[in-house]
Structure 1
Amino acid sequence: MTTTLTSTPTQTTTGTTDLAELVARRVPGFSLDAPFYTSQEVFEADLAAVWARCWIFVATEAEIAEPGDFVTVDIGPHSVIVVRDDDEEVSALRNVCRHRGSRVLTERAGSVANIVCGYHRWTYATDGTLLHAGDQAPTFDTSCFRLRRVHVRTVSGLVFVSFAEDPPEDWEEMAATIAPYLDPHQPLRTKVAAQHDLIEHANWKLVMENNRECYHCEGGHPELTCTFFPTWGYDRDKIPARLMPAHERYLAAEAALETACRERGMAFAEVEALEEERSTAFRVQREALDGAGESYTVDGAVASRRLLADFDTARLGRASVHTQPNAWFHFLSDHVVTFAVLPLAPDRTLVRTTWLVHEDAVEGEHYDLGRLTEVWDHTNQEDGEFCARAQQGVGDPAYVPGPYSPSERQVESFVAWYVARLREELAR
């Protein structure tokens, strides 16, 4: 049966986007209607339905290694301070002063003894407790004016927050599932080697859709496909003939990796939990690399000679995780690379990439920074161009939603998951 889609944007008689109708008419297996990517109203609905309710990856523990270390993260109208408090616990606090609402910390990252609002000098402990408020009435009770908390969870050195009053409970299941894949790399014994921000001129969903497929990788990512097998996402019986040599290398590399993992008691099997009913949908697997098979470099050899966790071999592939709605991670024998997607506007998205190396690794001795970041710097720039072209296209009156290919099944999983979050929001 053939499905026919029109290109007419769904709007009310007042010219505003009818979100309920857009959601109702979404056709599984096809890309979304244009307003999902271009409308300010849909963007604001996304902030409410997804970003204010789900668990969002925001940082790594390596970024806040010592008490007083903090990062600030802006997500739509929300600003959060993620800080290592004086008890060495990770806290997340609303970045809004309890006096008259001033933004408390304006720096992207730093270290403080106490958190001081720059407006009227209200001073808070790193756990959010109000310590000093200047001239106040005798009846003023500082205990009533601590910085508001944000729900925070950590797993394997990754920090997630949720702005929801009652955040999704299925995060714990996700954390318990992925930890055996990531913990062998001892991420709490890493440090930040580099962090690069890239603003992509595209809707956040286009950025995530692009990441959820490698249909474009064969011709679009020459650096990445030195080690990333271009058959990723294909069903085994649907691999094109031109990719069969790569597939044969993949099968051999996977067999060797499975043996290495079994010998070391390391988790490697695929777990795909992307059902739209899950608020915290995710996928994890340890997968082989091409080339030398050791790391994400142009030749596949390690980028850092100081391996993580005192591994006895560098050929451990990549333990890869992706989580809805905004993150993906690669844990390698010599380094970790994390990606956070943060929405800025209907047509602008921040992609933050962070590289972690062993805490004792020394730049210039154990690793070269350019070699460490080369593959993903190139890949991110290439993806940014692809996503910008996609944004231009979906904004064209000629755009009609098109069908996903079989290798884009995880794009469909992401879009179905996203639409389910909107349905939940509309039903509230």
Structure 2
Amino acid sequence: MPPQARARVRDAVARRATGRSLEGPFYTDREFFDVDIEAVFARQWLFVAVDAELPEPGDCTTVEIGPYSVIVLRDDDTLRAFHNVCRHRGARILDPGGGSTGNLVCGYHKWTYGTDGTLLHAPSQPADFDPGCFGLRTVHVRSVGGLVFVCLAEEPPADFAEVAARIEPYLRPHQLRRAKVAARTDLVEDGNWKLVMENNRECYHCDGHPELLRTFFPTYGYTEDNVPAQLRPAHERYLRADAEMRETYERLDLPYALIEELHIRPTGFRIQRDALDLAGESFTPDGAAACCRLLGDLATPRLGHLALHMQPNSWFHVLGDHAITFGVLPLAPDKTLLRTTWLVHQDATEGVDYDPDTLLRVWTATNEQDARLVARAQQGVSSPAYEPGPYAPTEYQVEAFCAWYIARLREELQR
């Protein structure tokens, strides 16, 4: 980065006021976006896929992370990840998307790699050519309870193994590694990636989600002391449902306690098993299960939802009957990809065990509503009249996200 641009970013980081939104350039300017790629997306563990997308040897998918393209594939029983760059003259090897492959063949000059990244064939090379020196460049990859993460850094954040060990017991009963993909959608939102993440980290705006609020309690983020009068009936229902769920979790030996370390560590996260309204089973209009085949060996669909937030780019809802994953990838200062994946039991049959419209309805509507809100926010922060505003107490997770983000930029600027 040119010194003048670097100084501009450093000054904005230094001015950041705790408890207020970020200044406009963090959301709009190219140099800030470029710093985000290097300080966050090129250094942190990122959610990019699920094991269920890669069930068999040779199954692969590609993911675009700023200027980086990464291949994630299954090599026998091992997950591997590589930069999607041929070691000959740099051509992309695989096109965007997923599929299955025997070997990885560059379409330019037919250099061929095994699924372990070794160079198997390079036409017309001299006698002293050593293919062992030209294997694909590897990327760190790890599956956590069926969720696949990659890290582009040579030395990934060291705390990821500890975080994985703490969240896997929550995920294990749902057996996501044995699930199958029921649906996946890609939605390009007209906003900066941080606005997408901030929007997810609060329910201050949840009155804009009528489908979601059939079962998701609108008191999320409130405490007993600051629940407004109009939300008191919902809060009382939540307390009753929460007490019932805690008894169920303890009877079934399911971990449920809140762990919230969103900004105090490199791999910030939050996990909690929590109640849902109405039937309390799923994100559907009546709260009843959307799939009659439960995940794993769970004994009842009435388990509320397991909510997991991971900095910097993902959140998850895991229920008794299905799971939904959300991954955020930056495309441009004002464009962001939101990828949503629905998982069901591996033996669940579409049209028999679940109706796709019922399964997808709530979060498809919610994603579209959020995209409109993010676009409005992007328009607002792009105005010369915009000034950072104060967070409400219920937006404490937005503040935690911004504090985590600013800490990553400070680390980058000190390198």
Give the TM-score normalised by structure 2.
0.98
Aligned partner of 1:415 in structure 2 is 402
Is 1:52 matched up with 2:39?
no
AA of the residue aligned to 1:272 = E
2:271 aligns to what SS in structure 1? strand
Q: CA deviation at 1:140?
A: 1.0
Distance in 2 (alpha carbons) for counterparts of 1:373 and 1:192: 12
**Are the counterparts in 1 of residues 262 and 400 from structure 2 also a CA contact under 8 Å?**
yes
2:306 alignment partner in structure 1: 319
Map 1:18-37 → 2, pairs under 5 A: 18-37=8-27
Partner of 2:203: 214
Q: 1:308 aligns with which of 295, 312, 317?
A: 295
Q: CA deviation at 1:16?
A: 8.6
- CA deviation profile, 1:103-146 (whole Å, cap 9, x unmatched): 00013101001111111111111111111111111111111111
1:141 aligns with 2:134: no
Q: Does 1:169 align with 2:158?
A: yes
Matched, 1:330 2:320: no
Change (3 A) 1:406 1:124: same
Match of 1:184 in 2: 173
User: Deviation per CA, 1:217-244, whole angstroms, max 9, x where unpaired?
Assistant: 0x20000011100000011210001001
Relative to structure 1, the CA distance from residue 14 to residue 306 in structure 2 (aligned partners, 3 Å threshold; closer, same or farther) is: closer
Q: 1:200, 1:384 within 8 Å by CA — same for their partners in 2? A: yes
Q: In structure 1, what is the equivalent of residue 230 of structure 2?
A: 242
Q: 2:65 aligns with which of 72, 75, 81?
A: 75
Deviations 1:264-312 (CA, angstroms, capped at 9, x unpaired): 1100010001134x11000000000111100111111011011111322
1:156-181 alpha-carbon deviations (Å, 9 max, x no partner):
00011111110001111111111111
Distance 1:263 1:123, change over 3 A: same
Counterpart contact for 2:190–2:375, Cα < 8 Å: yes
The one of 361, 370, 381 aligned to 2:368: 381
Residue identity opposite 2:255 in structure 1: A
**Which of the residues 239, 250, 265 maps onto 1:262?**
250
In 2, are the aligned partners of 1:17 and 1:41 still within 8 Å (CA)? no
Q: Report Cα offsets for 1:311-357 as digits up to 9, x if no partner.
A: 22110111110000000011100001000000000000000000000
Q: In structure 2, how many angstroms separate the alpha carbons of the residues matched to 1:88 and 1:355? A: 23
Task: Say yes or no: does 1:299 pair with 2:289.
Answer: no
The match for 2:193 is 204
- Percent identical among aligned pairs is 60
Aligned to 2:225, the other structure's residue is in SS state helix
Which AA in structure 2 matches 1:144?
C
Residue 160 of structure 1 is matched in structure 2 by 149
Of residues 121, 126, 144, the one that matches 2:115 is: 126
8 Å CA contact retained: 2:173, 2:297: no
| Secondary structure of the corresponding residue to residue 238 of structure 1 | coil
1:64 aligns with 2:54: yes
Structure 2 residue runs of 5 or longer lacking an equivalent are none
Q: Which residue identity lines up with residue 156 of structure 1 in the other structure?
A: G
Take 2:395 and 2:293, find their aligned partners in 1: how far apart are those partners? 36
Cα deviation code 1:66-106 (max 9, x no counterpart) = 00000100000111000001x22110011000010000001
Q: What residue number does 2:412 align with?
A: 425
Runs of 4+ displaced beyond 4 Å? 12-17
- Kept in 2, the 8 Å contact 1:17–1:35? The answer is no
| Paired residue type of 1:76 | G
1:349 and 2:339 aligned: no
Query: Is 1:116 aligned to residue 117 of structure 2?
Result: no
Distance 1:283 1:15 in 2: 34
Q: Give the Å deviation of 1:198.
A: 0.2
Counterpart for residue 91 of structure 2: 102
Structure 2 distance, partners of 1:369, 1:123, is: 39
Q: By how many angstroms is 1:189 displaced?
A: 1.2
- CA distance in structure 2 between the aligned counterparts of 1:88 and 1:245, rounded to whole angstroms: 50
Instruction: Tell me what 2:220 maps to.
Output: 232
Q: CA deviation at 1:14?
A: 7.2
Q: Distance in 1 between matches of 2:113 and 2:284?
A: 44
Q: Over aligned residues, Cα RMSD in angstroms?
A: 1.3
> Do the aligned residues in 2 keep the contact of 1:286 with 1:320 (CA within 8 Å)?
yes
How many residues end up aligned between the 2 structures?
414
Give me the whole-angstrom Cα distance separating, in 1, the residues matched to 2:165 and 2:49.
Answer: 19
SS in 1 for 2:340: strand
